Structure 1
Amino acid sequence: MKFHASRLPGAFSIELEARSDQRGFFARTMCLDELHQHGVDVSFIQQNMSYSASKGTLRGLHYQKPPAGETKLIRCTAGVVVDVIVDLRRNSPTFLQHEMFELTADNHRQVLVPEGFAHAFLTLADNTEVSYLVSAAYTPSAEGGLRYDDPRLAIQWPDPVTSLSEKDAGWPLVEEGADFGYDGVGE
């Protein structure tokens, strides 16, 4: 695995190192030793998958507040997504800044989303699947979210959002006092 540091501290884009032959290829998608070598102290306890039938489906911006915060390792297994992370750590030099990554079934890239970040993705193709490892169990009482179209975040989505859950449409704007629960860097 090749780790590329994001401009947001603690987040990485990860390229798989495929070993190819006439049958296809093999690649390691997660290795705790390699994560630890890059300063990521995590143990994944759950794997989730989403399927979106239509291009333009947006899921997010989601996060879980401490003590139920999550680190995620995101991978697109079919189709194409633009994956967005937002730094919610109030004392971080990149507080409320975001970064965007294109993940496809063909490019085999992954995004490591540290605890203290909101996460979302927009499908850029029909029949898109996303798989992700998570470091903490889903805790409804710790759930939080931000609006994908919040002017304070200024995210320029590459395609129109055509499908969005009621819950995701109803998240508060930052200026409305969204509760992140994160004060420090690296929490």
Structure 2
Amino acid sequence: MTKEYFVKLTIALYKVTDLFPENEPLRYQIRQKAVEILSSLIGENPKIDTSHIQELSRNIEILCRYFEVAQAQNWVDKKNLEVLEREYRKIQKDCLAREKVYPKASSQKIVEKTSETSRRGRIQEDSEGSKREKTTPKERKIKILELLKHKKTLTLSEIKNLFFQVSQRTIRRDMEDLIKKGIVARKRIGQKDVRYTLIKTDITTDRLRSMI
């Protein structure tokens, strides 16, 4: 699996979740988790220790649970979500196999089907936990730059959707800092949104991180 594959999978996920209701929290939960997974996979020197692999596997597991809930809502063709889940499961299996790290027995047990209300409850707990998570400015900027490096362009609203627990004013400050450092260029689109691009597209991820 290549970096290009991981990026294309993330873009495909964005296209599918574009069909979710605009203000649906699950739409942004899925996107944020996908970006966390992407960030773990596309670094210049990704970590390969056991804890990193286990964290990656856990994030994929949570993402697949989100897919289950989304399938029950009939917002999109279920086949689209099934394909996404299958591809993320492949990543999970590949990472675990390469590092010879296997899930704990408890994670291999068959999970009994529960009512939609129960599953909604689990997602709500994850959602509330995620909202309480704090990201530092540097962590946000690294994630933004890694995605920009591969997606080429991002709008302010797209970036805000990645960090829905952070205010738009804070995101603007992050981007202003990247602009002042000569890393990112800005172009206004319409009256309300802004598009950002990397000034140097051939720069390595490690170099970008050192510039923040």
Higher relative contact order (CA 8 A, sep 6+): 1
The question of a shared fold, defined as TM-score above 0.5 by the shorter chain, is answered with no
Higher-Rg structure is 2
Q: TM-score range by the shorter chain?
A: under 0.3
TM-score, normalised via structure 1 length: 0.25
Which is strand-richer, 1 or 2? 1
Which is helix-richer, 1 or 2? 2
